[in-house]
């Protein structure tokens, strides 16, 4: 499907920074994505994707904003106290690769750190049309948590993945 050109709908807003990405704009795009996901607001997060965006997330393949919204609602109903850090891995043209780790617990109080990689492809308006994620979950003790900021956006002064040794 990567060869298929997904078109931005005329009523969709632009989401700067726009491709082609420089190192600085790719880092900015990654942080904006992290901030969005840390909001845990499915409708807000979905606006960063094209109407017909296609995902691979573990064994699920949401297609289009409405499926993405439903996917995110299920995700954050299960992954409680979710906190995420993303870091740029590579970029070129309209593509960005990131690595990430997030911490969460289930409704029984079991904590996890989920590690993964994502490959993103953007349209000309800066909306993500493809998102391919590979994720692994590691059970951790609550005492092993590294993300302790209040729910929401990670504070600018908080260490990133590399600084945390993740």
CA-nearest of 44, 42, 36, 128 to 86 is: 36
pLDDT in tens, 24-63: 999 999 999 999 999 999 999 999 999 999 999 999 999 9
Spell out where 4-141 has E strands.
49-57, 80-92, 95-105, 111-122, 128-140
Q: What angle do CA 49, 98, 139 make, to 5 degrees?
A: 105
pLDDT reported for residue 69: 98
pLDDT reported for residue 11: 56
Domains recognised in the chain with CATH numbers: 23-145+158-164 (3.10.450.50)
Q: What is the mean pLDDT of residues 108-117?
A: 98
Sheet holding 111-122, edge to edge: 49-57, 128-140, 111-122, 95-105, 80-92
> Kind and range of the H or E element at 150?
none
SS3 142: helix
Q: What is the mean pLDDT of residues 72-76?
A: 98
pLDDT reported for residue 9: 52
pLDDT reported for residue 5: 45
Residue 147 has pLDDT above 80, yes or no: yes
């Amino acid at each position: 499907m990567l060869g298929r050109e997904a078109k931005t709908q005329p009523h969709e807003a632009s989401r700067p920074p726009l491709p082609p990405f420089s190192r600085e704009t790719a880092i900015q795009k990654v942080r904006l994505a992290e901030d969005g996901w840390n909001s845990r607001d499915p409708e807000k997060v979905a606006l960063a994707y094209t109407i017909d965006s296609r995902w691979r997330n573990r064994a699920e393949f949401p297609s289009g904003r409405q499926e993405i919204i439903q996917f995110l609602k299920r995700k954050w109903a299960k992954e409680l106290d979710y906190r995420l850090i993303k870091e740029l891995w590579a970029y070129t043209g309209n593509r960005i690769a990131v690595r990430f780790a997030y911490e969460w617990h289930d409704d029984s109080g079991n904590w996890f750190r989920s590690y993964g990689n994502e490959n993103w492809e953007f349209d000309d308006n800066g909306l993500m049309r493809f998102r391919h994620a590979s994720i692994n979950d590691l059970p951790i003790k609550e005492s092993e948590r590294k993300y302790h900021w209040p729910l929401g956006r990670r504070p600018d002064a908080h260490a990133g993945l590399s600084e945390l040794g993740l």
